Chains A and B, each alone.
Chain A
Amino acid sequence: MSENTVNISAPGAPRVHSRPLSRIGAMILRHVYLIRTSIPRLIELMYWPTMQMILWGFITRFLLTNSSYIAQAAGVLISAVLLWDVLFRGQLGFSLSFLEEVWSRNLGNLSVSPLRPSEFLVSLMVMSLLRTLIGVLPAAGLAIVFYEANLFALGLPLIGFFAILLMFGSAIGMMVCALILRAGQGAESVAWLAVFLIAPVSAIYYPVSILPEWLQIVAWSLPSAPVFEGMRAILIDGTPRFDLMAHALGLVMVYLSIGAGLFLHAFHVARRRGVLLQIGE
């Protein structure tokens, strides 16, 4: 290579029309490229929900003959495990999409681009949705084939449950990402652990009423418990509980606001501390 081989295409004024939706679209495209080119990532997304469903399917079969509670509604445990996976995968999908930028040392590039932190959050939420659908839909289909347990029997309220759990997963993901921005990449293991902190009080497989009284207060302050109670109300009593849905929806909005606030604050602090270029090293 030497100077006389330099080619410069005709220069001209930049023709850039940067808009929020196009920037969010670009971020989604970047993650779609990543998932599409990585078969192990794709398999990993589907593997755990499917294994969980198979395991709980056999447990259900066993309990059907030994438990009057399960005999009331055979699909209750499998529906619970699939909805729990919506929350778990939603949170993990959000956090891992953020961590992909940290691992590839791309956060600096994004931070000097026109992408605003709020648009970054929205793109991570969309990625959380896509990753969750990739993971949970095959498992839900197989549950029908293997165990005749149909999650879609929940009907229209399923859309509400799904949306609330996904948003709650994103809210927890925002808090995890805020922690990673604050404490560095060493905190990334929290992405895998965070959601299990609320599992015992989310009333996934049992009603809130069996928890000690003080833990019931904690359970009702999380959007996940009313969702699982609402699921059981439909599958066991055949009654959609819109009061529980409204309770969960109100709470999830609060958690989303807190999560977004913490993330934006952590981003601001990272700018003050000058760590955005170095994070991931």
Chain B
Amino acid sequence: MSNPIVEAWNLAKSFNGTPAVRDASFTVAPGQTVALLGANGAGKTTTISMLLGLILPSAGRVRVLGHDMVRHRYRALHRINLSSPYVDLPRRLTVEQNLLFFGRLYGVAAPKARLAELAHDLNLTGLLKQPGGQLSAGQKTRVSLAKALINKPELLLLDEPTASLDPDTADWMRGYLKTYRARSGCAILLASHNMMEVERLADQVLIMRHGRIVDRGAPGELIERYAHRNLEEVFLDIARGTEPGTAGQDVPAVAAR
């Protein structure tokens, strides 16, 4: 069996004494899609940042592609990439300039050829001469994904990949990611609170609450274990800390006029 792409052991991070991630252990195998599912502030982005070495863990260890990401992150970073709503591409540069810049930064052997491939695949050909600042949210997301794929990463980290997209574009994006993963064999770790997305894309789900991984499993297993119809009801059970099987029943009362 091949080595895991990501190995995290007892990862923890506190900010000014407030725990953001606690005792998180998990692995991501080659070609696998793992979803971090959790409410806002559950610790998803902090976990992704620790995998990238962008945030130093308070405790625990993380290895990506066999490299310790605290001490040797630069041995792995050219084989990883990230798309996140927390970052942007330089707005005054055109889409073409942005992608060529990142291609060269990652040391892509033929950046212009790779740019042409991605422009074709992600329907960016008509946008290449447009400045990044003039793009719509959906276009920006596609360009951000193109940047994240520029180096054909072995591990693709996606933070809320469809957060600002209309349903049609979001659906297209999910289809793209699924097909890309199947054909390229790259591992994907995505953070989301979109249940439909997670059900459709993920092989494994790590459900986070208050910084802890409180449950894990394949989407189908989780739905069966919690005796629900879909992942959203499972998530609500866990997020609200209610008894399994009672999600959706605790509708807040509305005062009568």
Contacts and interface: CB of A to CB of B under 8 A. Distances in A.
Contacts of A115: 105
B108 A16 contact: yes
A116 B105 CA distance: 11
B89 A106 contact: yes
Interface string B46-88: 1001001111100000000000000000100111111010111
A51 B52 CA distance: 47
B57 to A, nearest CB: 10
Contact of A111 (B54, B117, B175): B54
Interface residues of A, number: 51
Contacts of B90: 30, 34, 100, 104, 106
B172 A1 contact: yes
Given A16-B108, A274-B15, A1 B93 contact: no
A113 interface: yes
Given A2-B171, A274-B15, A30 B101 contact: yes
A277 B87 contact: yes
Nearest to B55: A274
B84 A277 contact: yes
Nearest to B90: A104
- The binding surface of chain A is classed by DSSP as loop
Interface residues of B, number: 63
B254 interface: no
B93 A114 contact: no
Contact of A276 (B54, B100, B106, B118): B54
B46 A274 contact: yes
B108 A15 contact: yes
B9 interface: no
Interface in B169-207: 169, 171-172, 174-176, 178-180, 183-185
A108 B77 CA distance: 13
Nearest to A14: B152
B86 A19 contact: no
Interface in A1-60: 1-9, 11-19, 22-23, 25-27, 29-30, 33-34, 37-38
Contact of A112 (B54, B107, B171, B178): B54
Contacts of B110: 15
B49 A15 contact: no
Interface of A: 1-9, 11-19, 22-23, 25-27, 29-30, 33-34, 37-38, 100, 104-116, 271-274, 276-278, 281
26 contacts: A2-B171, A2-B175, A6-B175, A8-B121, A9-B120, A9-B121, A14-B153, A14-B154, A15-B109, A16-B79, A16-B106, A16-B109, A22-B107, A26-B105, A29-B100, A34-B93, A104-B88, A104-B91, A109-B102, A271-B55, A272-B55, A274-B20, A274-B46, A276-B55, A277-B45, A277-B84
